[in-house]
Amino acid sequence: MDKEKIIEIVSEVENKSNKDLTKVVNFLHEEFYKTKNLIIDLTRHLDTVEEMYNKANNELEKRNIK
């Protein structure tokens, strides 16, 4: 379903058929969960990158102090 069609249906929900509303709801439901899962995966990745950076950076700081 294309963006313009979704916007059109959502902008005029009172005048749209149940079929159109069902399509939009199903599409948006899928998009919501796909986006949510991407955010969760990216958050986990970011946490891992931060943890590895901190570990390497802390070791480098220890070595530079000596």
pLDDT in tens, the chain (66 residues): 899 999 999 999 999 999 999 999 999 999 999 999 999 999 999 999 999 999 999 999 999 986
Residue type, 17: S
Question: What is the pLDDT, as a whole number, of residue 52?
Answer: 98
Residue ranges per structural domain of the chain:
18-65
> Model's pTM, two decimal places?
0.75
Query: Residue 31: which of 62, 1, 7, 4 has the closest Cα?
Result: 1
Tokens of 37: 């899962």
